[in-house]
Amino acid sequence: MLATFAFLLTTATSPPPTHTPVGQVVPASVGAIKELHFGKHFKYVGGQRFILKKVADAEQHFFVEATRPGTIRRLYWLQFERLLPGIGEGYDYSTDEAVTIDGVPFRRNVRRWDAPPEPDSDRAAMYAFLAKRGYRIPDGALRIRLVHVPDGSGREELMVVYAEAPEPGGSAPTEADVQRRALQGLRVVATAAGRTPSDTEQLLALHEEVLRAHRESNVDLLLAAEEDEYVIANRGEITRPDRKARREGLGPYLERTRFSKYRDKVPPIVKVSADLSLGWVIVQVEARGERTTPRGKVEPLEFVSAWIELYEKGNGRWIRVGNVSNFKPSSGGER
């Protein structure tokens, strides 16, 4: 109660919010981010603006999914924040995990709300605002914090927090489930100039590199997105050749093979895990060309192959870590 009273005193003369939601859309204009779209199951319950800890201008907006009587089950808490002139050097989230959402870079952090917030914190301000509107957040909610700091001075940030409370009498939601639902109800719309490729687009680009490497007989390009640790499942066997061994095997193969066609037969299927750390690309490829045998004879080559490219993300970069492949029967394939 004291925390709520203290917060109300500090915000009594605060200016109104500068961002006005329209339905489920919040105009943003922060760096590359143009708009934020929230799922239709969430109700907008208002926003506020205040000076946070005498160091930053903070503006909050809230979308909630609640059960009776006013108990919040799921919540999106959106916060625009800018350091006041002459205070601080900039926001630093370098210890948080780097992720890309809809082509926009964010830093992600996960924690559980097991203890009351500090009285002068932005979470206390959020609790107080929601309490005035008849809402409460049960203890033990798991939250995902996503922060975007635009390039430049680093004095401005956009934070999106998704929180999910345990079901009454049920078990607490898992981190993977919460991360998946957080992304399901959020869409980030970016300007074309400031947008970076989405994870799906990045994985498709890496797959296209695989195709181009075969067409160009370029083993360096083929191995560019791979590191030493790698696993292959093929012809009923599992192997773990290091990068040197893969080069020694693939290099001569590409040198004696010339493809006139090496392309997707059907559109690739791309999937990314809920925590954005794993990805896979499922493809069917048709190839035609010719190969030179060790005795110097040139033979025609034509086949259809299907495979799964396996990827891991580390330090903001996708790395190919494995491949599971097979050939269509009687296609004469070799790979």
CATH number at residue 278: 3.10.450.50
Return d(Cα 185, Cα 37) in angstroms, integer. Answer: 8
pLDDT for 171: 76
Q: In angstroms, how far is CA 313 from the centroid of its own chain?
A: 10
Residues 156 and 240 in one domain: no
Domain contains 334: no
Residues 287 and 323 in one domain: yes
Residues 179 and 222 in one domain: no
Return d(Cα 328, Cα 293) in angstroms, integer. Answer: 22
Domain contains 335: no
Residues 169 and 297 in one domain: no
pLDDT for 308: 97
pLDDT for 27: 95
Residue 270 burial (C-beta neighbours within 10 Å; 0-12, 13-18, 19+):
buried
pLDDT for 182: 93
Residues 14 and 152 in one domain: yes
Domain ends where: 163, 190, 217? 190
pLDDT tens string for the chain (335 positions)? 334 434 443 444 678 899 999 999 999 999 889 999 999 999 999 999 999 999 999 999 999 999 878 999 999 999 999 999 999 889 999 999 888 888 888 999 999 999 999 999 999 999 999 999 999 998 899 999 999 998 778 999 999 999 999 887 777 778 888 988 999 999 999 887 666 778 898 999 999 999 999 998 999 999 999 999 999 999 899 999 999 999 999 999 999 999 999 999 999 999 999 888 999 999 999 999 999 998 889 999 999 999 999 999 988 889 999 999 999 886 555 44
Domain contains 333: no
Domain contains 332: no
pLDDT for 13: 62
Residues 27 and 50 in one domain: yes
Q: State phi, psi for 13 to the nearest 5 degrees.
A: -110, 20
pLDDT for 23: 95
Residues 169 and 218 in one domain: no
Residues 19 and 164 in one domain: yes
244: Cβ contacts below 8 Å, ≥ 6 apart: none
Helix (H) or strand (E) holding 285: strand 278-292
Residues 81 and 24 in one domain: yes
DSSP 152: S
Residues 159 and 98 in one domain: yes
Domain ends where: 158, 190, 222? 190
What are the tens digits of pLDDT across the range 158-215? 999 999 998 877 777 788 889 889 999 999 998 876 667 788 989 999 999 999 999 9
pLDDT for 99: 85
In DSSP terms, 33 is beta-bridged to 30, 190
Range of the domain at 311: 199-327
Residues 127 and 226 in one domain: no
| Count of domains forming the chain | 2
Domain ends where: 167, 190, 213? 190
Domain contains 259: yes
Question: Token pair of 136, please?
Answer: 């409460």
Q: Cα angle at 173 between 170 and 174, to 5 degrees?
A: 135
| CB neighbour burial string for 104-141, b if at least 16 within 10 angstroms, e if fewer | bbbbbeeeebeeeeeeeebbbbbbbbbeeeebebeeeb
Residues 211 and 306 in one domain: yes
Q: Cα angle at 285 between 335 and 103, to 5 degrees?
A: 110
